[in-house]
Amino acid sequence: MDSHEEQMARRTSGLGRRKFLYSCAMAFAGGAIFAHKSWSQQSPASAGPASPQLIEDLVAANRVLADQGVVDGFGHVSVRHDKNPNRYFISRSLAPALVTAADIMEYDLDSRPVDPRGRDLYSEVFIHGEIYKVRPDVNAVVHSHAPSVIALGVAGILPRPVYHMSSFIGGGLPVFDIRKEMGEDTNMLVRTAERGRSLARVLGQRPAALMRGHGAVITANALPLVVFRSIYLQTNSALQAQALSLNPNSTFLTEREAELVDKELWDQDRHLRAWELWKEKAMGR
């Protein structure tokens, strides 16, 4: 069932460190050092260091998303390299609340790490790479398991903007159901480039997509805005569920209202007011 690509991804990124070392030793012992060598050949070149501010913001985004309950031990956030649009940064496999600058890894858009350093890596990096490939307007991506968003998703209810803070979803969000896209026999995870491409296709030009039975993917042109959208997608989902339980005909923002407020608010960096607060709360702890 698993493609060669998926097996490779698992072997190099999906193993606990002890198991990884053990399997490397086994591979060497048997002379079958194929995995290691092919990896070396595939490693893309680095695009050089990013601006320190970008890495600092990426660490802050990890901490804020954890502090605000959008991610728990799982979920991840990435940012496109500010010196080369064909590279992006994301943490090694680690709970977002624990991420520091030393944990940040550089990847190319095929989601190959520039320098794996034998580290455990997120297995679903393809979510990020495949979106960066087809969405030049996107510079930051969040993958979350936010509970209220998941509840809406499995109930088959599409997010609608309850208030102006979630105006970015006014145009509607698609749902990626891996079962429909990739067949009955998937393990739910976006662990291959093929699945990443499928998700990016369903996302299209929208700012975010739900992932049925899994979570969501949220995009923006920068880290503070992708964090803002991730937090308010979560809050809005909870509000929408409450409103619908009170009245199935609740009044949500019209597409026109959402469009106008989105333009007014975010053209003018208003979301940075929240970003400053969230950083202070998350980094001060």
Q: By CB under 8 A, what part of segment 32-71 binds a second copy?
A: none
Give the H or E element holding residue 216: strand 215-220
Smaller CB separation from a second copy, 31 or 246? 246
Structure tokens at 13: 């990124």
- Taking CB under 8 A as the rule, does residue 4 contact a second copy? no
- Taking CB under 8 A as the rule, does residue 7 contact a second copy? no
- Taking CB under 8 A as the rule, does residue 137 contact a second copy? no
- Taking CB under 8 A as the rule, does residue 75 contact a second copy? no
Smaller CB separation from a second copy, 7 or 84? 7
Q: Which string of x and - marks every residue 245-274 that binds a second copy (by CB under 8 A)? A: xxx--xxxxx-xx--xx-xxx--xxx-xxx
- What 8-state DSSP symbol labels residue 210? E
- What 8-state DSSP symbol labels residue 54? H
Smaller CB separation from a second copy, 41 or 251? 251
Q: Which of 27, 95, 114, 134 binds a second copy (CB under 8 A)?
A: 95
Smaller CB separation from a second copy, 84 or 194? 194
Smaller CB separation from a second copy, 114 or 157? 157
Instruction: Give DSSP secondary structure letters for 74-113.
Output: S-EEEEE-SS-TTEEEEESSS-GGG--GGGEEEEETT--B
- Taking CB under 8 A as the rule, does residue 172 contact a second copy? no
Would you say 33 and 244 are in contact if contact means Cβ atoms under 8 Å apart?
Answer: no
To the nearest 10 degrees (0 to 180), the angle between helices 34-42 and 17-29 is 110
**Of the ranges 39-47, 51-59, 125-133, 181-189, which one interacts with a second copy (CB under 8 A)?**
181-189
Chain Cα centroid distance, residue 273: 23
Phi, psi of 141 (to 5 degrees): -135, 135
Would you say 216 and 149 are in contact if contact means Cβ atoms under 8 Å apart?
Answer: yes
- Taking CB under 8 A as the rule, does residue 212 contact a second copy? yes
Q: Which string of x and - marks every residue 214-233 that binds a second copy (by CB under 8 A)? A: xx------------------
- Taking CB under 8 A as the rule, does residue 12 contact a second copy? no
What's the rounded Cα separation, in Å, for the pair 198 and 117?
A: 29
